[in-house]
Structure 1
Amino acid sequence: MKVPPPNIKIFEVKEPTETMIDQAVELTVLLEAEDQSCRVWTGGNPAELLPILMRSIIKASWLCEGAGETYVAIDEQNTLIGYSQWIPPGRDLWDSEDQRQYGYYDFMEKMSEEGRNYFKQSLGDQFPKYLDESFGMPQSQFNTHFCNLAMVRPDYQGKGIMSAMFRMAYERAKQTGATLALSAGDNNNVVVYEHIGMQLVGHRTFQSPWGEWSSWAFAWETKES
Structure 2
Amino acid sequence: MTTVVLPSNITILEVKQPTEAMIDQAVKLTNALQVGDPSCKAWTGGNLELLPLLMRSIIKATWLCEGAGVTYVATDEEGALVGYSQWIPSGRDLFDSEDQRQFGFYEFMEKMSDEGKKYFEESLGRDFPKFLDEAFGIPQSQIKTHFCNLVMVQPEHQGKGIATTMFKMAYEKAKQTGAVVTLSTGSEDNLTNDLQIVVYEHIGMTLKGHQVFQSPWGEWSSWAFAWETNPKEP
Instruction: State if a TM-score over 0.5 links the two structures.
Output: yes
* 1:116-127 superposed matches below 5 A: 116-127=117-128
* 1:145-224 superposed matches below 5 A: 145-186=146-187, 187=193, 188-224=195-231
Q: Spell out, residue by residue over 1:66-99, the C-alpha distance to the aligned partner (whole angstroms, 9 max, x if none).
A: 0000001000111000000000010000000000
1:4 CA drift (Å): 1.3
CA distance in 1, matches of 2:47, 2:186: 17
Correspondence for 2:89: 88
| Same amino acid, percent of matched pairs | 70
Q: Spell out, residue by residue over 1:33-76, the C-alpha distance to the aligned partner (whole angstroms, 9 max, x if none).
A: 10111111111111x11100000000000000000000010001
CA distance in 1, matches of 2:162, 2:62: 21
Q: Spell out, residue by residue over 1:155-185, the C-alpha distance to the aligned partner (whole angstroms, 9 max, x if none).
A: 0000000000110000000011100001001
Gaps of 5+ in 2: 188-192
Amino acid at match of 1:11: L
1:121 CA drift (Å): 0.3
1:224 CA drift (Å): 3.3
TM-score with structure 1 length normalisation?
Answer: 0.98
Correspondence for 1:42: 44
- The one of 21, 24, 31 equivalent to 1:22 is 24
Gaps of 5+ in 1: none
Q: Spell out, residue by residue over 1:106-132, the C-alpha distance to the aligned partner (whole angstroms, 9 max, x if none).
A: 110111111010000000111111100
Q: Which runs of 4+ in 1 moved over 4 A?
A: none
3-state DSSP class of the match of 2:28? helix
Correspondence for 2:135: 134
TM-score with structure 2 length normalisation?
Answer: 0.94
CA distance in 2, matches of 1:189, 1:40: 21
RMSD over aligned Cα atoms: 0.8
1:2 CA drift (Å): 3.5
CA distance in 2, matches of 1:104, 1:151: 21
Count of matched residue pairs: 224
CA distance in 1, matches of 2:207, 2:231: 19
CA distance in 1, matches of 2:68, 2:29: 22
